[in-house]
Amino acid sequence: MAGADKRLVDYLARRFPLEKLSFHSLVEKKEVPVHRMSWAYYLGGLAVFFFAVQLVTGLMLLFYYEPTVSDAHASVEHVTRHVAGGFLVRNLHTWTASAMILVLLAHLLTTFAMKAFAPPRELTWVSGAVLLLLVFGFGFTGYLLPWHQIAVNATKVGLQSIEQMGAYLPAALADLPGELKELIQGGPAVGQATLSRFYAIHVVVLPLVFFAVLGLHLLSVQLHGMSQGVDRATGRSEEFFPFFVLKDFSLWGVAFLVLFVVALVLPFESFFSYPLFGAFDPMGSTPDGIKPEWYFYFVYYPLELLPFWLVALLSAGATGVLFAAPWIFRRTGRRTLRILALAAALYLVVMTLFGQTLYEVFRGGGG
């Protein structure tokens, strides 16, 4: 075997030690460290559980959803108003999407603060970052499917952002973002081709890719077990099976209970103005208050406030840092990582909760 090949095989063998794939290792012997950050070990499992709920409720919605511009909105209205339990399934799908992204972001930040990306877990981290992007992809493509005013107009804004990148690229690459936008859009404007593509991406492409990456991520987590998490190990641990598993499942049960009750009593759409959920009419007026979902506010409000090139540059940089974190922060202490994670969390909270206020303060008007 050539040197480079051998190095690659050795590298992968250390990241995926398949010899640990045994009943003895995974069930009889596995321990989970106990310390003041132990609660964070439950976030990944909770995100997987929310994904499972998304899958089941999404499948149920598929039985009624019509992916055509003429019928999409009506089919969603039909599910909500006339199908027994339809509003509950739809609210569950919507609320769980938000819960999954919230938990995933918390999982990302706590994993970072605990330096769980340290060798040999670099690929666990990278696959997790890919999963996060895929979940944002689910959110972006799923948002369009009800084909209401806010869905179509927010998607237009999102796709225009891709095209705008062309202005900041060298001449040889300047057309590329526009072509990418048309490729995603399926034509010169958002229409049936866009809906068909988003539908296919949302219900087939993304789930397949997600399953593959999730499989890799979970395999890696199971093979390596939970990371130490803190600088000074407490020396205490608990059996993964059955104690940690029981707590994990119990948390899932309680989370589902809470989500079920919230979906039953508090429709997600009640937080918005109703004209945003009227059927999209290409010849009609565009209602006020078009915005992306809350989990895109951290990039949406900067786009509203700062020059596009600056936000594009910062976003590209942040994405690079996200994927290269295991190598960039290889020698950084957990204390520093905690401070960085807290700063990132503060930024996300401020932009999500107070983005509109900041926009009004700096731009002096409503959004």
Partner 1 sequence: MRRMSRPATTLRLALAAALLAAAPVALAYPEFEAFVERHSGRYVNCALCHAHPDGPEGTKPGQIRSLDAEELARLNLARAAFEPGSDVDSPILNDFGDEILHRVGKRRFLEIRSTDPALLADALGTDSDLDGDGIPDATEYLEGTDPLDAQHGAPLRLLRNNLERYRFDILMIVLATACGLWGLNHLLAWAGWRFRPALRDDPPPSGGGTLP
Report the C-alpha dihedral over residues 196, 201, 204, 207, rounded to 10 degrees. Answer: -160
Q: Give me the least distance between CB of 353 and partner 1, in Å please.
A: 16
Among 22, 70, 160, 250, binds partner 1 (CB under 8 A): 250
Binding segment for partner 1 among 106-114, 185-193, 194-202, 238-246 (CB under 8 A)?
238-246
Distance separating alpha carbons of residues 310 and 18, to the nearest angstrom: 44
Instruction: Tell me the site size for partner 1, rule CB under 8 A.
Output: 41
Distance separating alpha carbons of residues 113 and 107, to the nearest angstrom: 10
Binding segment for partner 1 among 9-17, 117-125, 281-289, 298-306 (CB under 8 A)?
281-289
Task: Find the helix or strand (DSSP H, E) in which 238 lies.
Answer: strand 237-239
Q: What angle do CA 70, 73, 77 make, to 5 degrees?
A: 135
Q: Give me the least distance between CB of 231 and partner 1, in Å please.
A: 28
207 vs 292 by CB, closer to partner 1: 292
Query: Smallest Cα–Cα separation from 103: which of 50, 66, 33, 65?
Result: 50
Q: What are phi and psi of 32, to 5 degrees?
A: -120, 125
Q: Give me the least distance between CB of 22 and partner 1, in Å please.
A: 13
221 vs 263 by CB, closer to partner 1: 263
Residue type, 119: P
Query: Smallest Cα–Cα separation from 51: which of 131, 161, 168?
Result: 131
Task: Find the helix or strand (DSSP H, E) in which 33 lies.
Answer: strand 31-33
Among 5, 270, 282, 364, binds partner 1 (CB under 8 A): 270
Binding segment for partner 1 among 22-30, 62-70, 307-315, 346-354 (CB under 8 A)?
22-30
Q: Could you say which DSSP state residue 40 is in?
A: G
Q: Give me the least distance between CB of 361 and partner 1, in Å please.
A: 18
54 vs 80 by CB, closer to partner 1: 80
Residues 24-63 that bind partner 1 (CB under 8 A): 27-28
Which tokens in the block code for residue 85?
A: 């339990």
Q: Which residues bind partner 1 (CB under 8 A)?
A: 23, 27-28, 80-81, 87, 91, 239, 241-243, 245-246, 249-250, 253-254, 256-257, 260-261, 264-267, 269-271, 273-278, 281, 283-285, 287-289
